């Protein structure tokens, strides 16, 4: 975990959004970070020292001239003894002080003294955020190398007004902190990847559809792992209940034809990983109205037509990505079928898995796969779907590097 034992100096300044900073403290600590809080005088009007201190399990610093801390020049130690300074919420006042180099309280003095990355999550009334003085200060801070997360559009906590000024949500702030402190190598930086995930739904009429069993867990995990390695990822997802992975461009589709169109529109790319359980057939003529039950007990018959094979289309496309990877979910003769699929679909690798009901792979958290290339079969042990994703991305990076 990126934040394990990382020291985050959290400056809480005085805005109503300070209530969200309590949750922010928890989210940071859940990820292993040590949170050292500083509160401005105005912040104490919105949240209590006791609440912040208890959640952080750390002393809350407030005074520039503290008898306890000044023996070793407390503000300099605070500014130096951390991995990142996070200001959440950042008020217009504190931004103005920092942009102009003012240092008349502990928060502003620490901001002037620190050499660590500074991340600000501004929160203020939309009228204030759009004021030219605030824009000027924000631009100056950007030039000075300060990072920003938000503010977002939406309702203000004080009610009534909507506009840009809401503080970013705690989890989005945490994601930004993680991105700034992430020193992991990025072997796929500058590479574009397209991933398909989830099932497709093929409508019979406006209320009924046929579909495959697929939760999207493996495809979404691969999209997230590709982003972690620095790739620019487009995820084309069928209907799933999963949240969109962070940092991924997600295109939501229902039908196979929509999925194909979204994938082709996302080319060119360096990598394509087709994980979706695409329905092989769709209903030839779907009804615009709900098909009624007939009084005499006769049942409708459905005629099917073949869906486009997205993997095969991409595998033989003039803009074919350098690396095309397919999945083969089989219930029998897994490896033989996967090898045949490799050639038929023009893929470089097929990730084969046994989805017989007794394996529990469909909809489960674990997976056991074999990686099939033209000249080898590599059987991986039983792993979590996240581990399969990480390993696959390592393999992708090796293949693209020509290893
Ligand atoms: O032929 P089969 O459905 O077993 O092939 C599975 C692989 O092909 C998966 O990678 C799946 O995402 C892809 N596929 C596709 N379009 C289809 C059917 C399968 O992209 N219509």
pLDDT at 184: 85
Question: Cβ-count burial of 236 within 10 angstroms (0-12 exposed, 13-18 middle, 19+ buried)?
Answer: buried
| Pocket lining: 278 vs ligand 1, CB cutoff 6 Å | yes
Domains and their CATH numbers in the chain: 7-181 (3.40.50.1950), 192-401 (3.40.50.10300)
Q: What is the 69 CA–ligand 1 centroid distance (Å)?
A: 64
Ligand 1 nearest-atom number relative to CA 310:
20
Instruction: List the structure tokens of 106.
Output: 């502990």
| Pocket lining: 148 vs ligand 1, CB cutoff 6 Å | no
Instruction: List the structure tokens of 45.
Output: 């009007």
Ligand 1 nearest-atom number relative to CA 308:
21
Round the average pLDDT of the chain to a whole number and report it: 92
Q: Which candidate, 82, 92, 3, places its Cα nearest to that of 40?
A: 92
Least-confidence region, from 105-119, 151-165, 174-188, 296-310: 151-165
Question: Cβ-count burial of 321 within 10 angstroms (0-12 exposed, 13-18 middle, 19+ buried)?
Answer: buried
Higher pLDDT, 55 or 355: 55
Q: Which residues are part of the catalytic machinery?
A: 212
| Pocket lining: 307 vs ligand 1, CB cutoff 6 Å | yes
Which of 194, 218, 274, when mutated, tests ligand 1's pocket best, judged by the most ligand atoms within 8 Å of its CB? 274
170: phi then psi, degrees, rounded to nearest 5? -50, -45
| Pocket lining: 326 vs ligand 1, CB cutoff 6 Å | yes
pLDDT tens, position by position, 99-143: 999 998 999 999 999 999 999 999 999 999 999 999 999 999 999
Q: Please say if the pLDDT value at position 356 is more than 90.
A: no
pLDDT tens, position by position, 287-297: 999 998 888 98
Give the C-alpha separation, 87 to 17, whole Å.
Answer: 12
| Pocket lining: 217 vs ligand 1, CB cutoff 6 Å | no
Give the C-alpha separation, 393 to 218, whole Å.
Answer: 12
């Amino acid at each position: 975990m990126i934040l394990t034992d990382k020291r985050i100096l959290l400056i809480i300044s005085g805005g109503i959004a300070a209530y969200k900073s309590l949750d922010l403290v928890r989210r940071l600590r859940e990820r292993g970070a040590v949170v050292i809080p500083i509160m401005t005088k105005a912040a104490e009007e919105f949240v209590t020292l006791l609440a912040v201190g208890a959640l952080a399990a750390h002393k809350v610093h407030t005074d520039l001239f503290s008898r306890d801390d000044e023996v070793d020049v407390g503000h300099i130690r605070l500014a130096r003894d951390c991995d990142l300074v996070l200001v959440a919420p950042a008020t217009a006042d504190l931004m103005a002080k920092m942009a102009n180099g003012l240092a008349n309280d502990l928060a502003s003095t620490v901001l002037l003294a620190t050499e660590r990355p500074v991340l600000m999550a501004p929160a203020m009334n939309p009228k204030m955020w759009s004021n030219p003085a605030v824009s000027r200060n924000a631009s100056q801070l950007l030039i000075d190398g300060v990072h920003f997360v938000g503010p977002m559009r939406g309702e203000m906590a004080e009610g009534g007004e909507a506009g840009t000024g809401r503080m970013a949500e705690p989890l989005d702030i945490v994601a930004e902190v993680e991105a700034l402190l992430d020193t992991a190598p990025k072997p796929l930086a500058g590479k574009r990847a397209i991933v398909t995930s989830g099932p497709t739904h093929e409508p019979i009429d406006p209320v009924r559809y046929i579909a495959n069993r697929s939760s999207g867990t493996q495809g979404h995990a691969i999209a997230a792992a590709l982003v972690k390695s620095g790739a620019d990822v487009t995820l084309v997802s069928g209907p799933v209940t999963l949240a969109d992975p962070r940092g991924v461009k997600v295109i939501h589709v229902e039908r196979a034809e929509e999925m194909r169109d979204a994938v082709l529109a996302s080319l060119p790319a360096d990598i394509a990983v087709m994980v979706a359980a695409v329905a092989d057939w769709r209903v030839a003529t779907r009804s615009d109205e709900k098909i009624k039950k007939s009084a005499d007990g006769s049942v409708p018959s459905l005629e099917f037509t073949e869906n486009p094979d997205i993997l095969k289309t991409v595998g033989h496309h003039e803009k074919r990505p350098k690396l095309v990877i397919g999945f083969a979910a089989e219930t029998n003769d897994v490896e033989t079928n996967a090898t045949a699929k490799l050639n038929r679909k023009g893929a470089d690798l097929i990730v084969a898995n046994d989805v017989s009901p007794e394996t529990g792979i469909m909809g489960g958290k674990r997976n056991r796969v074999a990686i099939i290339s033209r000249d080898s079969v590599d059987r991986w042990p039983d792993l979590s779907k996240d581990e399969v994703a990480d390993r696959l991305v390592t393999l992708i990076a090796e293949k693209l590097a020509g290893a």
